[in-house]
Every structure is written in C-alpha cells, then in structure tokens.
Amino acid sequence: MSAESLSPRLQTLVQNSRTLLKRAVVEHQDVVYSNSLGAEAMVLTDIICNYVPQIEIFTLDTGRLHDETLALLDRLERRYHRRIQVFYPQAEAIEQYVRDNGINGFYQGLDERRSCCDIRKVEPFKRAIAGRKAWVTGVRREQSAERSHGEAISWDDRYDLWKVSPMLEWTEDDVWAYIKARNLAYNPLHDKGFPSIGCAPCTRAVEPGADLRSGRWWWENPESRECGLQPRRRIIPLKVEPRRAVS
Ligand code: SF4
C-alpha cells in the first residue's frame, strides 16, 4: 500500500492500528474480525487485508439488510480477492419468532425487538467467535461515553475472549479521509443521511445535527438503542455533522 497519499496523522493512525493488530496475532494467534460493513469497517478491512491477512474476517447477514449492504460485501470480496465468511441466523429460530410475533414483530416493543436482535445478530455472532482467542471490533472513542474508556486490548467477559479495538483513536473525519485517500468502497447509504446502518426496517436517515444513533430503532428510547453485540449503556448523545460525500 502506498502511504504517500495519506496525511501524517493518517499514516500514524494506520501504523498504530497495524501494530496493534500484529501484536494481537502474536499474542493470541486465533484472531477474527467482526466486520460490520460500516465506514470504520472499510478502513479496518483495508488495513487487515494489506498488512495482517492472517486475521479471518466474518460478517453477519441478519436476513433484513439493505441491498446496498450486501452489494458492498460483494465489492469487498472482489477488491481484496478473499472470502468474507457470512454467518446467518438459525432458520428454526426465525420461523418460530415470526410465528409468535409476525414478520415485523420488532416494532411491537422492546422485548420483541431485542428478541429479534438476539436471534438474528447475537446468536450468530456467538457462533462466529466460538472457540476463538480474540475478536477485532471497529469501535471508536468518540462514538459514546462507554467507548471513550475503551482499551486497545481488553478481556471481554461477555464472550470470554480478548477484544481488540484498533480504531479507538480514529475520528469520523479520519475514517472518511482514509476512505477518500484510498478510494475505498463504502455503503452509498452514508451519502443519503445514514450515519449508522443496520437492518433495513430498523434504520432510517437522520437530519444533519441529529444524534448519531437516532436513525437506529428510532421508535425506542435512546438508552435502549443497542443490538446486544456492544454494551447497552449509552450516556451521552453524540451529534453528527453533515458529511461531505466522498467523490
Ligand atoms: S435490527 Fe431490527 S430486523 Fe435487525 S435483528 Fe434487530 S430487530 Fe431484527
């Protein structure tokens, strides 16, 4: 990868992320990356594929993703010439959920919504990391008060393996500057007002200046807007400024 097109700050961030990922591989060997297909994931996928390809990459297809998200997955596989393993929910669990709650039962209440996320996200995620030594996540400090205290490598006692966070010091501007400098693929929904992209029925565009997560599960109270993969406590609403489309 040519570093010439990157600013000194980005070069330092890339170097630090790369060093951390390599250290994780040396210390824990069996490291997997849980690729969310969000903007941070475009950066991490690029760094992993170029510098630390021994890290396996997986993603979760909940069955309710936007077409744009699935098309992005295909683009990533073509660009990096490697397969990204996809984990799906258990068909029987979804059939039972739909029998009990209806196809869009998650709108009925918090229990129904969390139950859907458990079936479509949390259970496949647990299967994906089962028996692994460490998992990589793209969380950044500025995303929430909870994440601002994150450590680069920490023991994740919810899932009993090490958690590696190489994007902690990256800002949103850093992420998009890197995407632009490297001409990376990204989800076109970001250019249509979606700062955070999840399942299609549970994500919508937000107005400039709105809370970063306000487009996710918008019918719920802000405190509950997590899917269960990351800690649910969220203290400070994070405002997002309008982002210029990457040309
Ligand atoms: S985000 Fe919505 S559709 Fe996706 S798993 Fe959660 S409740 Fe179900």
The tens digit of pLDDT for each residue in 124-136 reads 999 999 999 999 9
Q: Which tokens is 196 given?
A: 């955070």
Q: Whose CA is nearest to atom 2 of ligand 1?
A: 202
Please report where in the chains the tokens 């996928």 appear, as a residue: 45
Q: What is the mean pLDDT of the segment spanning 36-62? A: 97
How big is the chain, counted in residues? Answer: 247
Q: Enumerate residues 6+ apart whose C-beta is below 8 A from 104.
A: 201
Q: Using one digit for the tens of pLDDT, what is the confidence trace for 209-243?
A: 787 778 888 888 777 777 777 665 443 344 445 45
Mutate to test the pocket of ligand 1, among 66, 116, 225 (most ligand atoms within 8 A of CB): 116
Whether 66 is in the pocket of ligand 1, judged by its Cβ within 6 Å, is: no
Average pLDDT over residues 51-67: 98
What are the distances in angstroms from CA 215 to CA 10, 171, 238? Answer: 29, 20, 12
pLDDT of residue 1: 59
Give, using CA atoms, the residue closest to atom 6 of ligand 1: 117
Q: With a 6 A CB cut-off, is 202 part of the ligand 1 pocket?
A: yes
- β 85-87/134-136 pair status: unpaired
H or E element in which residue 41 lies: helix 39-51
Query: How remote is the CA of residue 12 from the centroid of ligand 1, in Å?
Result: 37
Measured distance between the N- and C-terminal CA atoms of the chain, rounded to whole angstroms = 21
Among 178, 184, 183, 181, smallest CA distance to 166 is for 178
Q: What is the pTM of this model?
A: 0.89
Dmax over Cα atoms in the chain, in whole Å? 56
For residues 228 and 15, the model is more confident at: 15
Q: What is the pLDDT of residue 149?
A: 77
Is the CB–ligand 1 distance for residue 201 below 6 Å?
A: yes
Q: Write down the pLDDT at residue 4.
A: 57
The top-level CATH class assigned to 8-192 is alpha beta
Could you report the per-residue pLDDT of 111-166, keeping only the tens digit for each?
999 999 999 999 999 999 999 999 999 999 887 677 777 889 999 999 999 999 99
Instruction: Please identify every residue annotated as catalytic.
Output: 227
Q: What is the per-residue pLDDT for 246?
A: 45
Domain borders along the chain are: 8-192
- Token couple for 198: 């999840």
